[in-house]
Amino acid sequence: MSRICVIGVGYVGLVTGACLADLGNRVVCQDVDQDKVGRLKQGLLPIYEPGLEEIVRRNSAAGRLCFTTSYDEGLQGARFVYISVGTPSGVEGEADLTYVHQAAKAIAERLTQSLIVVNKSTVPIGTGDLVADLVREHQTSDIPVAVVSNPEFLREGSAVRDFMNPDRVVLGSTDRSAAQEVAELYAPLQAKVMITDLRTAEMIKYASNAFLATKISFINEVANICEAVGANVLEVAEGMGTDRRIGPHFLSAGLGWGGSCFPKDVKALAHIAAMHGCHPQLLRAVVEINDDQRKRVIIRLREHLGTLRGKIVGVLGLSFKPNTDDMRDAPSVQVIHFLQNEGAQVKVYDPVAVENARKVLREVSYCDNPYVVAEGADALILATEWNEFKQLDMQRIAHSMRQPVLLDARNIYDPGSMKALGFAYFGIGTGCGGAE
Ligand code: NAD
């Protein structure tokens, strides 16, 4: 049993803290957000993440997991201090390290015992060294502190499963024994552990996210070429993905990538590259393709409906992907803004993300279910592929729309069936350009 403090109780920190408690450790999760901590103390989760509530409840009841806003309380007796605060994009695309700096200073000012700082936040290469420097500058004692980079690869929507079954655990440090001590925390997971130097571990995280984003932008570019030449991207992706050198994952053409990680991480890596004299032209193209992909939906609708002014457009799904309530950089937000700019009225529905959506999407009609969204609409855009949208009564939807135009931006419906129901159906790269 180890004593662990987790600083920053967001999607990553809460999952990390709860899962480390579930592995038998005593974990105190600290966050500056009083509202969030207050809710957690009452057993209420600030985020939607399948399976997490039960783990939080079980470990809180067992006394292994608690929440606080106090650094003193969090750090008391801790051997490991995880930093899992946000690292949002700055104005130039660089990672904003304000919160990481705050956390490092808070640790330094309260050092009463030797500890290991484990950095879980996604940070620019060199930040681990910077954190070590910051701690040294601000500590009032000469107690030794080691810094270990432990990038996180969990995916929102399956975060608990991903944490408990990692493909690998990456640990980077100049202090190998500290890295090995952190590795012991993960021993119950029986995962492959890779120990590197600090900078390499930090780079593995950025390179991984940039590569995944590249795969999606690649297939979207291929999808657009498929549309132009009359090929079907679904079969192209299957044909490519069965090649073991390529693999089937992240080859779904659609609205492009979004969320709290890919957009900021690809931009941050491009920024780091440029600031080090490299010319990150591939990364820039990956971002550009993604930006354009969201606009294609609008172009397609305009081509079919003429002007969008006065048209009613329904949007199904708002979160950046299914099984999460995270609206950060969700493609739906940009698509809805484009629709509104062109004078369309927008009706929306999402199973769990509405509370977060209300903070970024105003002047849209929030509906209680997908059927209300479709009623009287001139077009329906499927923006997030929640499972419940795969089971809808599409005949009822077609009949209730003013014009049965379906823009399936995640390719979840069968084009033939949709056309048989009377929809003008548009997929992404499936060569299904409207009615027969
Ligand atoms: P988040 O915004 O959900 O949570 C960050 C939390 O840190 C917030 O609750 C905030 O109040 C808190 N915080 C900020 N400053 C603080 C401080 N000084 N002291 C204490 N708490 C503070 O962010 P997230 O999605 O959990 O991401 C955290 C980090 O993990 C980021 O670097 C992100 O890139 C990385 N990451 C995220 C994911 C993901 O899927 N969300 C996956 C892998 C890595």
Active site residue 66: no
How many angstroms does the Cα of residue 86 sit away from the middle of ligand 1? 3
Which residue's CA lies nearest to atom 4 of ligand 1? 10
Ligand 1 center from residue 325 Cα (angstroms)? 15
25 lines ligand 1 (CB under 6 A): no
DSSP 285-336: HHHHHHHHHHHHHHHHHHHHHS--TT-EEEEE--SSSTT----TT-HHHHHH
Nearest atom of ligand 1 to the alpha carbon of 264: 34
How many angstroms separate the CA atoms of 38 and 40, rounded? 5
Q: Which atom from ligand 1 is nearest to the alpha carbon of 123? A: 32
Ligand 1 site, residue 111, Cβ cutoff 6 A:
no
User: How far is the centre of ligand 1, averaged over its atoms, from the C-alpha of 12 (Å)?
Assistant: 6
- Token duo for residue 407: 């823009």
- Give the Å distances, CA to CA, from 76 to 6, 64, 69, 79, 268: 12, 15, 13, 9, 34
C-beta of 351 in contact with ligand 1 (< 6 A): no
Helices 11-22 and 52-61, interaxial angle, to 10°?
50
Instruction: Give the domain ranges of the chain.
Output: 3-196, 199-436
The domain at 199-436 falls in which architecture? 3-Layer(aba) Sandwich (3.40)
Pairing of strands 115-119, 169-172: unpaired
Tokens of 12: 């990553």
pTM: 0.95
Atom of ligand 1 nearest to the CA of 159: 40
Q: Which position has the token pair 């089937």?
A: 248
CATH superfamily placement of domain 3-196: NAD(P)-binding Rossmann-like Domain (3.40.50.720)
Strand 145-149 to 26-30 pairing: unpaired
Range 14-39 average pLDDT: 98
Write out the H or E segment, with its range, that includes residue 67. Answer: strand 65-68
- The pLDDT of 205-209, averaged and rounded, is 98
- Mean pLDDT computed over 60-65: 98
Which residue bears the tokens 């033939």?
416
Site to probe by mutation for ligand 1, drawn from 15, 16, 82, 84 as the one with most ligand atoms within 8 Å of Cβ, is: 84
- The answer to whether the 3-196 and 199-436 domains have the same CATH topology is yes
Catalytic residue among 29, 226, 261, 367: 261
Q: What's the rounded mean pLDDT across residues 178-200?
A: 98
- Please give the distance, rounded to the nearest whole angstrom, from the Cα atom of residue 435 to the centre of ligand 1: 46
Atom of ligand 1 nearest to the CA of 47: 3
| pLDDT tens digits for range 281-329 | 999 999 999 999 999 999 999 999 999 999 999 999 999 999 999 999 9
Give the count of alpha carbons within 13 A of 25, CB side only: 26
- For residue 432, the model assigns a pLDDT of 62
pLDDT band of residue 431 (cuts 50, 70, 90) is confident
pLDDT digits (tens, 9 = 90+) for 394-403: 999 999 999 9
Give CA–CA dist 134/251, Å, rounded: 41
**Model confidence pLDDT, tens digit, residues 416-429:** 999 999 999 999 99
In this predicted structure, the answer to whether residue 69 has a pLDDT above a threshold of 70 is: yes
125-175 per-position pLDDT tens digit:
999 999 999 999 999 889 999 999 999 999 999 999 999 999 999 999 999
For residue 10 and ligand 1, the question of a CB distance below 6 A is answered with: yes
| Residue 435 binned pLDDT confidence (cut-offs 50, 70, 90) | very low
Residue 434 predicted with pLDDT over 60: no
Q: 46 pLDDT exceeds 60?
A: yes
Whether ligand 1 lies within 6 angstroms of the CB of 129 is answered as no
